[in-house]
Each structure stands twice: as C-alpha cells, then as structure tokens.
C-alpha cells in the first residue's frame, strides 16, 4: 500500500468506522422465526401424513392385486407361468378353523376371503403398532 | 445467556430444533442488517433483504459445509441478495443537491454537537455510498464496517484479493471525491 493509498484509507476512516453500525429493528428475530415455524409446519404436515399412509396403502394394493390375480388367472395347466406357484399354494394344508363366509354374510364369497380379510386386519394393526413405536422413539 | 457457539446451534437446527436458529439470528442480525443497509441505502428494504437472507440461510443450512465461519457464509448470502436486488431496482442518479444538510441540521433537542457531527458524517457516508456502484458499496461495507481483511472479503464475494484491492482503491477515491465536493458546497453555502 503506497503513501497516497494509506492517506486516503485513513481519511475515509474518519467518516466510516465499525462503531457506526446500523442495528436491526425491534422484533427482527421474532419475524424471521415466525416465518420459519410456519414454513416448518406446512412442510412437515403433508410429509408426515403421506408417510403414515404409504405402508398400509401398499399392503392393501398388493393384497388386492394378489386376490384379483388368483381369480383372473385361468385354471388350465399350461397357460400361465404362475400356475406352479398357485399349485403350491393349493397344496398347503391350513390347520385353521373353517369359516363359512356365505353363512356369515349371506353372500356367495369364496371361503379364502375371510382369511384374506383377517390377514389384512392383522397386518394393519401390526403396521400401526410399529409406526407408533418408531415415531415415539424419534 | 451463555452463547454456545454457532456450530452448536447449527447442529441443533439441523437436528430439527428450529428454535435454535433464533440464537444464530440474534447473534448475526445487526451485521447482516448493516451490510444490507449499506448496499441498498434504505431501512425498509434492508430489513426485508436481511430477513430474506436469513430465511435463505435456514433453508440451505444443510449445504453449509463449515469450511468457512457461519458469519462469512451468511454475509455471502446477504451480499449476493442485496447486490442482485439493487441491480434489478436501479435507482435514478443522485445529485449533490440531494444532500443539502450540514452538521447543524443534525442537532436535535437531545443531541450534543458531537453527536450531531457523528450523525452528519454518517449521513454523508451513506450518501456517498449511494453514489458509487453496488459492488463497490458492498466492498466498502465489508472492509470498513465489518472490518474484514481482503482474504475474508474474497470468501464472501468470490472476487480475487488483487481485484478487491483495486476495486476498494477506486471506491475509496470516488467516495472521498464526493464527500469533498459536498463539504466544499456546504462551506460555500453556509459561509
């Protein structure tokens, strides 16, 4: 820094100094925090409800898909790749009490419907319990 | 209250405790506001710009790598926000006649002559700042008000150290020229 530059710098220092800082107005922090808290609320609420419903929605969709495919896939032996799987399922021996859905609801539903329904209810309850457990841990 | 350091409050904010951010705002608000004010030259706009900058900082806190200090990072946001605001909203050129006052005009009922002199000098500097371009305004504020070194200013502005020195030199000359003209004019006008 040459002499002229130093002189000019010192000259300007007479007018400007760190002592003359313009302070932020009253309520500055609270205004910002209001914005931030509002933003946090609006961002987190939809995210939470979206996450909350995702797992039960997927399980219901997959179950519905499986039920639909069980009804829609033809019963002949060579027309589907899923037949070996279906055969395997048919050969599984259930040792569960037998419910007559038709006698319960006076509807002509296949007997497997009641098991599927109970399965969905158990899975949903289990899912809610896990959800509550993990969110409490947070 | 005992201030635990910027990093502590940054970590708390990132962990989901938004209230912790208020400690950071409280600590840095005056300097951030001052920088915005020196660049835009208007209290209302400065408040808006400083608030906007803090909100930007909050939203992008995750991207703060802690390589520089939080203050430097925040000043960078304030500097860029204020500069781009001023560029968009270019004001008409101020004439020297727009600054008719001398120190006696700053003497109020509760102010001493010394206080009035300080206020006059402050107003004079603010006026001169508004006469130079926005980049130079930012550099002058960081150098004189925030007392930053050329290296620190380089972190904030992204300009090279040599470029900062050249720009500061020019800005200083321009400001002194303006201040000198006003003082001369007032001397003639008020005898």
CATH 1.10.10.10 residue spans of chain B: 92-191
Interatomic CA distance for residues A85 and A93, integer angstroms:
15
Confirm if A58 and B67 have CB atoms less than 8 A apart: no
CA distance A50 to chain B (A): 19
Q: How does the average pLDDT of chain A come out, rounded?
A: 72
Q: Which long-range contacts (CB under 8 A, 24 or more apart) does B96-104 make?
A: B96/B178, B96/B181, B96/B182, B96/B185, B98/B127, B99/B123, B99/B124, B99/B127, B99/B182, B100/B189, B101/B186, B102/B186, B102/B189, B102/B190, B104/B190
CATH topology of domain B92-191: Arc Repressor Mutant, subunit A (1.10.10)
Interatomic CA distance for residues A21 and B28, integer angstroms:
12
The 10s digit of each residue's pLDDT in B26-41 is 999 999 999 999 998 8
Mean pLDDT by 10 residues, chain B (191 residues): 81 90 94 92 92 93 87 93 85 60 56 73 85 90 89 93 92 90 70 50
User: What is the distance of C-alpha B155 from the center of its chain?
Assistant: 16
ipTM greater than 0.85: no
User: What is the distance of C-alpha A41 from the center of its chain?
Assistant: 17
Considering the domain delimited by B1-91, tell me its CATH architecture. Orthogonal Bundle (1.10)
pLDDT tops 80 at residue A72:
no
Which residues of chain B are within 8 Å of residue A18 when distances are taken between CB atoms? Answer: 144-147
CA distance B76 to chain A (A): 18
| CA nearest to A13, candidates B180, B27, B12, B140 | B140
Which pLDDT band, with edges at 50, 70 and 90, does A138 fall under? very low
CA distance B92 to chain A (A): 24
Which residues of chain B are within 8 Å of residue A11 when distances are taken between CB atoms? Answer: 176
- How high is the pLDDT of residue A50? 65
The 10s digit of each residue's pLDDT in B55-75 is 999 999 988 888 889 999 999
Of A14, A23, A32, Cβ closest to residue B51? A32
Interatomic CA distance for residues A56 and A128, integer angstroms:
9
Over its C-alpha atoms, chain B yields an Rg (Å, rounded) of: 19
Cα-flanking dihedrals φ and ψ of residue B158, to 5°?
85, 5
The 10s digit of each residue's pLDDT in A3-46 is 676 777 777 887 776 557 888 999 999 999 998 888 877 665 55
Of B21, B30, B175, Cβ closest to residue A36? B21
CATH 1.10.1740.10 residue spans of chain B: 1-91
Which residues of chain A are within 8 Å of residue B33 when distances are taken between CB atoms? Answer: 22-25, 28
Query: Are the Cβ atoms of B31 and A21 closer than 8 angstroms?
Result: yes
Query: Are the Cβ atoms of B172 and A22 closer than 8 angstroms?
Result: no
- Beta carbons within 8 Å of A1's beta carbon, 6+ residues apart: A9
CA distance B60 to chain A (A): 13
Which of B20, B29, B182 would best serve as a mutation to test chain A binding (most A beta carbons within 10 A)? B29
- How high is the pLDDT of residue A33? 93
Which residues of chain B are within 8 Å of residue A8 when distances are taken between CB atoms? Answer: 169, 172-173, 176
Interatomic CA distance for residues B24 and B61, integer angstroms:
12
């Amino acid at each position: 820094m040459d002499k002229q530059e130093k002189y000019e710098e010192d000259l300007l220092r007479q007018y400007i100094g760190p002592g003359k800082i313009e302070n932020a107005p009253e309520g500055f922090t609270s205004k910002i925090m209001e914005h931030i808290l509002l933003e946090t609320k609006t961002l987190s609420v939809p995210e939470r409800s979206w996450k909350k419903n995702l797992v039960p929605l997927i399980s219901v969709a997959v179950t519905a898909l499986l039920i639909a495919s069980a009804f829609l896939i033809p019963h002949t032996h060579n027309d589907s790749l899923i037949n070996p799987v279906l055969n395997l399922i048919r050969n599984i021996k259930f040792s569960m009490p037998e419910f007559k859905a038709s006698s319960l609801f006076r509807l002509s539903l296949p007997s497997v419907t009641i098991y599927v329904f109970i399965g969905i209810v158990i899975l949903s309850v289990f899912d809610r319990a896990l959800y509550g457990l993990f969110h409490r841990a947070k | 209250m005992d201030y635990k350091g910027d990093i502590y409050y940054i970590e708390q904010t990132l962990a989901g405790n938004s209230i912790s951010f208020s400690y950071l705002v409280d600590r840095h608000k005056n300097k951030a506001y001052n920088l915005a004010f020196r660049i835009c030259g208007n209290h209302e706009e400065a408040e808006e710009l400083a608030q906007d900058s803090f909100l930007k900082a909050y939203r992008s806190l995750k991207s703060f790598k802690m390589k520089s200090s939080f203050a430097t990072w925040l000043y960078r946001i304030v500097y860029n926000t204020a500069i781009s605001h001023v560029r968009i909203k270019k004001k008409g050129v101020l004439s020297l006649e727009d600054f008719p006052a001398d120190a006696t005009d700053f003497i109020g009922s509760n102010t001493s002559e010394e206080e009035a002199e300080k206020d006059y000098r402050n107003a004079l500097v603010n006026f001169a700042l508004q006469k130079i371009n926005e980049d130079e305004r930012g550099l002058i504020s960081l150098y004189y008000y925030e007392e930053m070194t050329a290296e620190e200013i380089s972190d904030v502005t992204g300009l090279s150290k040599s470029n900062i020195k050249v720009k500061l030199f020019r800005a200083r000359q321009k400001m002194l020229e303006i201040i000198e003209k006003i003082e001369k004019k007032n001397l003639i006008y008020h005898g």
